[in-house]
Structures are given as C-alpha cells and as structure tokens.
Amino acid sequence: MASNSFGTLFRITTWGESHGKAIGVVIDGCPAGLEVSEEDIQIELARRSPGKSIYTSPRKEEDKAEILSGVFDGKTTGAPISIVIFNKDFDSSKYEPIKHLLRPGHASYTYQEKYGLFDHRGGGRASARETACRVAAGAIAKKLLKHFGIEVVAFLSQVEKEIAEVEISNLSQIKESMLKSSIFCPDAKAEIAIMEKIASVKEEGDSLGGIVVFTSNLPLGLGDPIYEKLEAKLGAAMLSIPASKGFEIGSGFSSVFMKGSCHNDIFRHEEGRVVTKTNHAGGILAGISTGMPLIGRVVFKPTSSIKKPQETLNVNKEKELLTLPEGSRHDPCVAVRAVPVVEAMAALVLADAYLLNRNAKL
C-alpha cells in the first residue's frame, strides 16, 4: 500500500479509476521558476490518446488536463502541481454481463483476492488509463530536463520479428521520425511491416506484444551507487507500467552470448571528452551515467483483452466461456500506446536523478 507514489525529490502521486469521476496526479518537488502550461501537458496526452488510428483502441477519450495548483503566472511556484483529467466516457453497463468472470491476464483476480472487492468498471485502478497521469507528469519532467539540456525519447522498436533500425546516437532524428509515425516507429520499413501485422491480428480478434526502446543524452554522473543505481530505478519505473514483462539496459540479455573482451566498452578521448568505442553498457557504469547515450528496452506482453472467446472461471470457480461484449475497445498491440508512457517514466527517473545529483560532492 501507499504504493501510488514514485520518485524521491521529484515525486508524483497518481489517483483515479478508469470509470470513476476523474483521474489525476500531484507532482511534488518541481523547483520553482519553470515555465509550465496546460498546453505542454495536452500535447503529450494527445500522443497517447486512443482513437488516433486503427493501431490503437478506437475510444474517443479526448482527455483534457487541468492544472489546479502549483503554477502561478505561467511558472511553477515550488508548491505541488495538481493535474486533473475528468472522465467523460462513462458507460460501464456493457461490462455487466462479464463482471462475474475472471479475466485471463487481468488484474481482476488478484485485486479481488487482495482487497476483497474489485471495481470491475473498465479495470478500475488497474486500467491502463492510469498511465495518462504518468504522461501528464512526464510532460513537466521533460520540461525540467530540457531546462538542463537533457532530452529523452522512446519509440516502438519491435513487434514479432520486425525490428526498427535506428542510429541511436541521433536522438533528434529518431524523435522526428517517431512523432510522424502513427505507431511511434521511427523506421519507415519496420513501421509498415508492423502496421500490417497489427491490422491482421486485429482482424483475428487477437493481440500482439512489442518492445519499446528509450534513449537520452544525459550527462555524466547521474544516478547513485548500490540500491539506487540508475538502471535499478529505470527498471522499477518500466516494470511498473501495465503489461510490461521485462527491462534491459545496453546489451541486456544478449550479454549471455558475449565475452568480456568484447563486452567491455573501450575508453576513447574524442573532441575533448571521454567516450567509449562501443556502448554495451547502455550509458551506465556501476549505476552512474557515463555520458554515452542511455539505452533501455522494455517488453510488453500482447494485450490480454481479446475478442476471441476464452475459457475461464466464474466467481464460483466454475468453468465458463468469456466473450468480451460487442463494442469493447482494446488496443491490438498495447506496446504502441506504451511508447509515450515509457518516455514519461524515463523522464521522471532522470529528473529525479538530476536533482539528487546536486549533493554528490562539496
């Protein structure tokens, strides 16, 4: 419990259920004097909003973020920033016929058992809708990072065997291409292939998993030793996103096939700064950023809500067939909509790391 907050010095607390009155986030610890507007947040929310294309769920959420506190005359005041998004899309009646069923891959079973009750309306607190608050908070974190010269970008990297090819050190190029793509995939070739796959699986009433990659030009020295290593905090951030099943930094799981003489990134002195020839480290050594591009990868399972009927149990533990109600709306590939969420979570971790770093030495 008390599990709805994230961060140490730049700290967010989110609240709200999918089909409740509203959802929201309180950001505590943003330094005073940062220019922030509702527009900044709206732009980010628009990106994750469903209904954007057939590749995401066709809901019309039209999320509208309102800043209720912490900003005065267009600038942060140092007081907590409260952002609220009122829920408009409210009809939960269509879920009535299946509310007695355990939904495979869903929160319903574990929530029911842990709390003794479950808000079945659209997933309640466990709904991916909660991630809109992360994106809203991430918009502020990104503004703060930008003030310090730091950019962060995430993109859809892989679905099945289709992999986006990108030049990771070219962050602005990636960002530009990613923003143009309706599935946040910066490589046009992979984009087309993935879009075809998604369209086809949607047709089948099924769903697909995917991998999201993020990168940042963060400077040398962010992150802390031992238990608050930058990769540990990024890992916790990414694995807190609904449907994520894994996280890796730099060479990640492919390290199992490498030898030390190959994996070690050789130091070079180039243009007045220390760089490494390769970047298997993914921009982090011993929990602290090296100044090389940060590279993290997050995998998302295929959306658990699918049109295909599924065998399951009802609350009396009897076998029953689950068929989602006509008109249910679900992303055929949740990894697509996860892209701005990954970007937001990375920004939250990095903003916090930046503030924490100020007391490293005298």
Closest approach of its own copies to the CB of residue 209, in Å:
4
The two tokens of residue 87 are 């829920």
Q: What is the DSSP letter of 278?
A: S
Closest approach of its own copies to the CB of residue 298, in Å:
10
The two tokens of residue 164 are 């986006």
CB 116 within 8 A of CB 109: no
Question: Closer to its own copies at the Cβ: 215 or 251?
Answer: 251
- Which of 212, 180, 232 is CA-nearest to residue 352? 232
Question: Closer to its own copies at the Cβ: 5 or 173?
Answer: 5
Which residues, in sequence order, are bridge partners of residue 350? none
Question: Closer to its own copies at the Cβ: 11 or 170?
Answer: 11
Q: What separation in angstroms does the CA of 108 have from each of 14, 89, 165, 250, 309?
A: 20, 21, 38, 35, 17
- Which of 266, 239, 264 is CA-nearest to residue 250? 264
For residue 149, what is the enclosing H or E element? none
Question: Closer to its own copies at the Cβ: 170 or 313?
Answer: 313
Closest approach of its own copies to the CB of residue 311, in Å:
5
The residue whose two tokens read 């959802």 is 23
CB 171 within 8 A of CB 293: yes
Measure the CA–CA gap between 239 and 298, rounded to whole angstroms: 8
Q: Which amino acid is at 349?
A: V
Closest approach of its own copies to the CB of residue 171, in Å:
21
Question: Closer to its own copies at the Cβ: 186 or 223?
Answer: 223
Cβ-in-10-Å burial (0-12, 13-18, 19+) of 163 comes to middle
CB 87 within 8 A of CB 68: no
Measure the CA–CA gap between 319 and 34, rounded to whole angstroms: 56
Closest approach of its own copies to the CB of residue 176, in Å:
25
Closest approach of its own copies to the CB of residue 190, in Å:
13
Measure the CA–CA gap between 14 and 59, rounded to whole angstroms: 22
Question: Closer to its own copies at the Cβ: 296 or 340?
Answer: 296
Closest approach of its own copies to the CB of residue 297, in Å:
8
Question: Closer to its own copies at the Cβ: 9 or 192?
Answer: 9
Closest approach of its own copies to the CB of residue 187, in Å:
16
Measure the CA–CA gap between 279 and 262, rounded to whole angstroms: 11
Question: Closer to its own copies at the Cβ: 94 or 268?
Answer: 268
